[in-house]
Amino acid sequence: MAVNSAVRAKQMLEARELSHAKKGIGWGLLSGATWGLDGVILGIGTAMAPFTGGASLYAAPLAGAALHDGFAGFFLFFYNLFTGKWREYIRTLATKPGLIVCLAALFGGPIGMAGYVLGINMAGASYALPITAMYPAIGAIMAVFILKERISWRTWLGIVLCITGAIIVGYAPPEGSSPYFHLGIGLSLLACLGWGMEGVLSTYGMDMVDPDIAIGIREATSFVVYFVAILPLAAGLPIFFAAFGAKSLWIVALAGFFGGLSYLAWYRALNMTGVGRAMTFNISYALWGVFFGWLITKTPVTPALLGGALLIFCGTVLATTNPRELLNLRKR
């Protein structure tokens, strides 16, 4: 009898741990899907006034990004208020792991996003997008060294397929050379490093910080830095303020809602499935972007888009299979 119950307890434990790992995969897939939807909606919003003007080429995209992160942070705060976690913001910020999350926010929000926007403007999307799309590989390599994360050869293959697919989906023919071409390439690399670093640092911080609070802090920090540092430098404040009262604000707010949900799902997945895998799921947004673009804005699906989407699908499946690998995320 006692032996029986011991065996049963072990089985129940295994089932519970497996279900935890599977939930992590679910969060990762949700993060990719909502990020794709977010991108399509944000694209609609920022194609309208006042985002079509601006003192510089990158003032409007940065103002849009600031509003997006601001709304996402706002929605996340309400979510945490609703789940009874709001007191955790201050408690967490009073600890060093909380400050590590803030540092991760700087890498991912302003540094990653500004590098991405400026890189596209200076070097052209055909060079900047493939470079920035490599962030899961950078993140996974850093996770192996810094977090001692276990990543199987199948997951590596999945990462490579997803990146290749994202590059094909995002590819645009070169538009002629810009005088700032090399600076643009450098800034794209900075974005890639920034996003990779965000994943590793925030996962390290989240070993001790609740992911729901970590992402709330991340979005709020990102918004504040945009508002006090990036927007004044990029002459983006006039557009930021002009957006209040414009119809496009509501569309950006809706994008911010899906962005908040996507980030919440991403941070949970980072914590539950590890950096390498969560980033692979996250980059599947390129696939979802094709789908939602076709559904909402009637963007035509070309053979190249389909091919890229198929690669992303295969890569995601490779990274998803066998949740048992997720029972122990790190080598210790």
Partner 1 sequence: MKLPMRFRIIHLVSQHDKISDKEVVEALRDEYGDEGQYRKSIIDTHLMSLRAVGIIENTGVTLDENDDLVQHFSITDYGRDLLDKYLPSQWK
> How far does CA 194 lie from the centroid of its chain?
11
Handedness of CA 236, 133, 139, 264 (dihedral sign): positive
User: Phi then psi for 149, rounded to 5 degrees?
Assistant: -75, 140
Q: How far apart are CA 128 and CA 181, in angstroms?
A: 10
Structure-token pair, residue 63: 């103002």
Q: How far apart are CA 252 and CA 240, in angstroms?
A: 12
Q: Quick one: which segment of 102-110, 201-209, 232-240, 244-252 binds partner 1 (CB under 8 A)?
A: 201-209
Nearer Cβ to partner 1 (84/173) = 84
The residue assigned the tokens 């309208």 is 48
Hey, which bits of 213-259 come out as E strands?
none
Contact in structure between 194 and 139 (CB atoms under 8 Å): no
Measured distance between the N- and C-terminal CA atoms of the chain, rounded to whole angstroms: 35
Q: How far apart are CA 169 and CA 31, in angstroms?
A: 18
The site string for partner 1 over 2-31 (x = CB under 8 A, - otherwise) reads ---xx-xxx-xx--xx--xx----------
The site string for partner 1 over 53-92 (x = CB under 8 A, - otherwise) reads -----------------------------xxxx-xx-xxx
- Shortest distance, position 202 Cβ to partner 1, whole Å: 13
Of 126, 115, 121, 125, the closest CA to residue 56 belongs to: 121
Nearer Cβ to partner 1 (271/280) = 271
Q: Quick one: which segment of 27-35, 53-61, 152-160, 203-211 binds partner 1 (CB under 8 A)?
A: 203-211
Q: Is 328 in the site for partner 1 (CB under 8 A)?
A: yes
Sites for partner 1 among residues 267-326 (CB under 8 A): 271-272, 326
- Shortest distance, position 154 Cβ to partner 1, whole Å: 19
Nearer Cβ to partner 1 (146/310) = 146
Q: Is 128 in the site for partner 1 (CB under 8 A)?
A: no
Nearer Cβ to partner 1 (82/153) = 82
- Shortest distance, position 43 Cβ to partner 1, whole Å: 34
Contact in structure between 20 and 272 (CB atoms under 8 Å): yes
Residues that bind partner 1 (CB under 8 A): 5-6, 8-10, 12-13, 16-17, 20-21, 82-85, 87-88, 90-92, 94-98, 207-210, 213, 271-272, 326-330, 332
